Amino acid sequence: MKRGKRKQVPAPGTPRRLHTFGAYNWRDDTLSWQCARRKNSETFIAFVEHLLLGCYPTQRVILVMDNASYHKSKASLAALSLFEERVMIIWLPAYCPFLNAIERFWLHLKTLACANKLQTDLDALAARIDRTMTNQNCLDYTDRFTFSKDFRSPA
């Protein structure tokens, strides 16, 4: 923009958000995800059902979760207890996002799908996120995030 002139950027009057729930499969190096307009116990339970009934209907699953309030709500814990015979939950210590591999991926996703990009609406943003996540599951995709599986402590 020219000096002294301000560029007008259209923005809605009230903030609108789109949240992405995701799970990383350590064995095949892929992601499962689901977008939601809200981030609460109800949408988290919907994602758990998507994961355990849709993506992995018979497999045993290990869920590594942080201490988000919607992860530990009574409703969420009750829903998770329905799958207790095939789900193991590992709770991360509070304030330790570096222990959760998917946290580094969220930054990568934001860079590819959201940063410096203006979407016309939330549906367009959801489509961009879906495209980026789908590409992440293609092993030959050039902008693919690689999850480190090396647990040696840094020097």
* Position 68 in a domain: yes
pTM of the model: 0.82
**Other Cβ atoms closer than 10 A to 69:** 11
- Angle 9-13-17 (CA atoms, 0-180°, nearest 5)? 90
* Position 112 in a domain: yes
Q: How far is the C-alpha of 138 from the C-alpha of 80, rounded, in Å?
A: 30
What average pLDDT does the structure give for the chain?
A: 90
Residue 37: partners with Cβ closer than 8 Å, 6 or more residues away: 17, 18, 19, 43, 122
What's the domain count of the chain? 1
* Position 83 in a domain: yes
* Position 131 in a domain: yes
Residue bearing tokens 């999850």: 147
Q: What percent of the chain has pLDDT over 90?
A: 66
* Position 54 in a domain: yes
CATH number of residue 89's parent domain:
3.30.420.10
pLDDT at 101: 84
* Position 8 in a domain: no
- Which H or E run includes 87? strand 87-91
**Other Cβ atoms closer than 10 A to 115:** 9
* Position 13 in a domain: no
* Position 11 in a domain: no
- Give the structural domain span for 50: 19-136
* pLDDT value at 62 more than 90: yes
pLDDT at 66: 94
pLDDT at 152: 57
